[in-house]
Amino acid sequence: MVLKFYWKFRIHFMIERFIYYFVLQWNTMETVTVKFQENVLKKIDESITEHDFNSRTEFIREAVRDKLDELNKKDLIQEFLKFRGKSKKKTTYEENRKTRGIVSKELMSELDKRFN
């Protein structure tokens, strides 16, 4: 039963991923040529089989997206750290606790909307 569900889910996931990349490739993508050393390509090929990527292209595309996300996070953290300690107003523990409660409720309602 579990194995049947797994394969059904897996096939559905693969079809969705194929459609997603097919539409992207033919509608929104440009071709870029990249050269890699042989040992890097071997590592890429090992990762492709280990993590179920369909092709080198898909693997490289995902790696670039991950790197861009990582750089964006680093930039946001740096921007946030610029403001650390700059507040003129000091807050009490109770004020912080009340704010955390409000933010938690907003987050939970947003997650409920998204996943229910």
* Rounded Cα distance, 34 and 30, in Å: 13
| Percent of the chain residues past pLDDT 90, beyond the cut | 41
91 and 68 in one domain? yes
7 and 63 in one domain? no
pLDDT at residue 48 in the model: 94
89 and 53 in one domain? yes
69 and 26 in one domain? no
26 and 77 in one domain? no
3 and 55 in one domain? no
Mean pLDDT of 76-95: 83
What average pLDDT is seen over the chain?
84
49 and 7 in one domain? no
64 and 74 in one domain? yes
* Rounded Cα distance, 13 and 111, in Å: 23
- Domains in the chain: how many in total? 2
49 and 91 in one domain? yes
Domain that residue 11 falls in = 1-30
E strand or H helix at 97:
helix 93-115
53 and 16 in one domain? no
